[in-house]
Amino acid sequence: MSWIYEKNFEVRDYECDLQGIVNNAVYQNYLEHTRNSFLKEKGPDLKALHDQGIDAVVARIEIDYKFPLRASDNFFCRLAVKRDGELKLVFNQEIVLKDSQKLCARAKVVVVCLENGKVSMPKVIIDSFSEFLE
Amino acid sequence: MSWIYEKNFEVRDYECDLQGIVNNAVYQNYLEHTRNSFLKEKGPDLKALHDQGIDAVVARIEIDYKFPLRASDNFFCRLAVKRDGELKLVFNQEIVLKDSQKLCARAKVVVVCLENGKVSMPKVIIDSFSEFLE
Amino acid sequence: MSWIYEKNFEVRDYECDLQGIVNNAVYQNYLEHTRNSFLKEKGPDLKALHDQGIDAVVARIEIDYKFPLRASDNFFCRLAVKRDGELKLVFNQEIVLKDSQKLCARAKVVVVCLENGKVSMPKVIIDSFSEFLE
Amino acid sequence: MSWIYEKNFEVRDYECDLQGIVNNAVYQNYLEHTRNSFLKEKGPDLKALHDQGIDAVVARIEIDYKFPLRASDNFFCRLAVKRDGELKLVFNQEIVLKDSQKLCARAKVVVVCLENGKVSMPKVIIDSFSEFLE
């Protein structure tokens, strides 16, 4: 995988649950924040798209949990993106501990765009991200 | 206090943190959901207000944490509301364990309405909730 | 699929995001709370297991998002469970709107148990849930 | 106020709600993460304390919401701490937009320590933080 974007994080205590590890749902927060930060840096952000009538939504997500994140862990989340057919964007993402480079989670996220409620691949998306699409 | 509305809850495991108790911020979720459910049952809900250009926002909150909620606890949240001057609504709220009636938290929440960005007391609010305002 | 457990929910406003729909990660909260409620009703709950040195953890999750949940929607989440080999439990789950019976999300969740840090299938799990395992 | 600690944040999209602004409860996440980061840098962190049988818990919180945080805002949270009587620590905290220095929220958080279930002021807390206590 040729990663094109990376974002640093630190586990916040409130993200951990009874078992003393980061709750599974919170990984999706990290994955989403990484994708949205990528969008914001490289083109129109989610809010700007929403205001133009375009919503980028997750159609499918697969996450393999490999090793638990714990309180105060420093980690990064990286991504690669490619088109899948006419209408889908597929993000491959990994969550990796900073010091040990241990893989904590691997995800595949399928995103589609809704333009005024209909699935489409808006020109603004292609124009902004074409250089990154594998 | 003459309580005018009550909502039942059950603690969800993911709402607990490292210490094995419900995280402090989550109490605010419970308090908010109770207020919004009250609004929805008795008048226009928050989303409907937002679509009319009215946002009811919290200006100040005070919470006294008395006894911790734990995984699987059943509890209810109750409220009373009064006007404070021309522009403020004050909600008094309590979170109480169902079986023991033990008080877990007491809150005072000051809400103001923003109408197209300006603080106001919209007619729709007064009309809908006048019977509940002490 | 023969569903064996069902739990009712109501969308809380704070679970919705900028796009006006329930945030993707929150679906995982709903799925988890449904599994944990099932465990609690039918056998030892997650907290009791944790205190015995057993942690049931998600190894993999797949979620297909079919139709967005919105503020105040009433819905239920149902599940079926089966064993997959010696060490895995597979939960199939669906999130369905109450009134329209519209499918909002479908998930497959692979759970493994860690007993003092090692993957195992604890006797207490098999004893408690054997009648439900397909 | 003489601030003794400061932590930088960036609003994550999922922290915003229907109204397009950061949900009120999330401010408490920011405030808590700032306090816990301070503890971790200057002495034993919350997890280490918990493992020694000491839980630092919030007894009371007051938050004044002054100006809403929005998607992608960069801000910092700063704190000062003092003792109040034998058993309480009082944190004063502010959330401030980075560029404009606009005050978004001001909070007063009363923390007490539970040592094996009883309110106390553990020696480890005093030893670690005496230099910061006003």
Q: How high does pLDDT run on average in chain A?
A: 93
pLDDT (mean) for A115-119 = 87
Instruction: Measure CB to CB from residue A32 to each of D14, D32, D36 and give the nearest one.
Output: D14
Q: Considering chain B, what is the average pLDDT of its residues?
A: 93
Question: Searching chain B, which residue's CA lies closest to the CA of residue C51?
Answer: B20
The candidate with the shortest Cα–Cα distance to B19, out of D59, D26, D118, A18, is A18
- Angle among Cα A119, A110, A15 to the nearest 5 degrees reads 120
Residue B112 is predicted with a pLDDT of 95
Nearest CA of chain C to the CA of D13: how many Å? 7
Mutation pick from C13, C51, C77 vs chain B, by most beta carbons of B within 10 Å, is C13
Query: Tens digits of per-residue pLDDT, B28-77?
Result: 999 999 999 999 998 888 878 888 889 899 999 999 999 999 999 999 99
- Spell out, as residue ranges, where chain C has pLDDT lower than 50: none
d(CA A101, CA A78): 12
Q: What does pTM read for this prediction?
A: 0.95
Determine the residue of chain D that is closest to B67 in CA distance. D59
- Nearest residue in B to C40, CA atom: B72
Q: Is the pLDDT of residue A90 over 70?
A: yes
Distance (Å, whole) CA C117 – CA D94:
41
pLDDT given for residue C129 in this prediction: 82
CATH no. of B5-129: 3.10.129.10
CB C77 within 8 A of CB C7: yes
CA C95 to chain centre: 10
Q: Which of A12, A13, A15, A18 to mutate to test the interface with B (most CBs of B within 10 A)?
A: A18
Residue range B80-100: mean pLDDT, rounded: 95
Whether the complex's predicted ipTM surpasses the cut of 0.90:
yes
| DSSP annotation string for A27-87 | HHHHHHHHHHHHHHHHS--HHHHHHTTEEEEEEEEEEEE-S--BTT-EEEEEEEEEEETTT
pLDDT > 70: percent of chain B: 99
- Mean residue pLDDT across chain D: 93
Q: How confident is the model at residue D134 (pLDDT cuts 50, 70, 90)?
A: low
> What's the CA gap between A131 and B10, in Å, rounded?
49
Tell me the Cα Rg of chain C. Answer: 15
For residue C12, give how far its alpha carbon lies from the nearest alpha carbon of chain D (Å). Answer: 11
Angle between helices A24-42 and C24-42 (to 10 degrees): 180
Mutating which of D23, D24, D29, D119 best tests the B interface, going by the most B Cβ atoms within 10 A? D24
To the nearest whole Å, the CA of B48 is away from the closest chain A CA by 19
CA D7 to the chain's CA centroid: 10
Rounded distance, CA D39 to CA D56, Å?
11
Predicted confidence at residue D131, as pLDDT, reads: 82
Task: Give me the phi and psi of B39, to 5 degrees please.
Answer: -60, -45
Which positions ≥6 away from D2 have C-beta within 8 Å?
D80, D134
B40 backbone dihedrals φ, ψ, rounded to 5°: -65, -40
Chain B residues close to A23, C-beta within 8 Å: 14
What is the token pair recorded at C59? 């190894």
Domain regions of chain A by residue span: 5-129
Chain A residues in contact with chain D using a Cβ-Cβ cutoff of 8 Å: 12-14, 20, 29, 32-33, 36, 40, 45-47, 71-72
Q: What are the pLDDT digits (tens) for D94-103?
A: 999 999 999 9
SS3 call for B119: strand
For residue C86, which of C43, C122, C118, C55 has the smallest C-alpha distance?
C122
In this prediction, residue A1 carries a pLDDT of 82
Helix (H), strand (E) at residue C93: strand C88-97
Sort out which chain A residues have CB atoms less than 8 A from C26's CB and list them.
Answer: 25
pLDDT in tens, A21-60: 999 999 999 999 999 999 999 888 887 888 888 989 999 9
The three-state secondary structure class of C41 is helix
Question: Which positions ≥6 away from A52 have C-beta within 8 Å?
Answer: A44, A124
Our CA-based measurement puts residue B66 at a distance from the nearest CA of chain C, in whole angstroms, of 23
Write down the pLDDT at residue D49. Answer: 87
CB spacing of D29 vs B29 below 8 angstroms: no
> Is the pLDDT score of B134 beyond 80?
no
What's residue B45's pLDDT? 80
Question: DSSP character for C67?
Answer: S
pLDDT tens, residue by residue, D3-48: 999 999 999 999 998 888 999 999 999 999 999 999 999 888 887 8
The residue type at D30: Y
Tokens of A66: 């490999």
Phi then psi dihedrals of residue C130, to 5 deg: -55, -35
Q: What is the mean pLDDT of residues A11-28?
A: 93
B93 Ramachandran zone, left/alpha/beta (phi>0; psi -120 to 50) = beta
Q: Which two three-digit tokens encode residue A3?
A: 């990663």
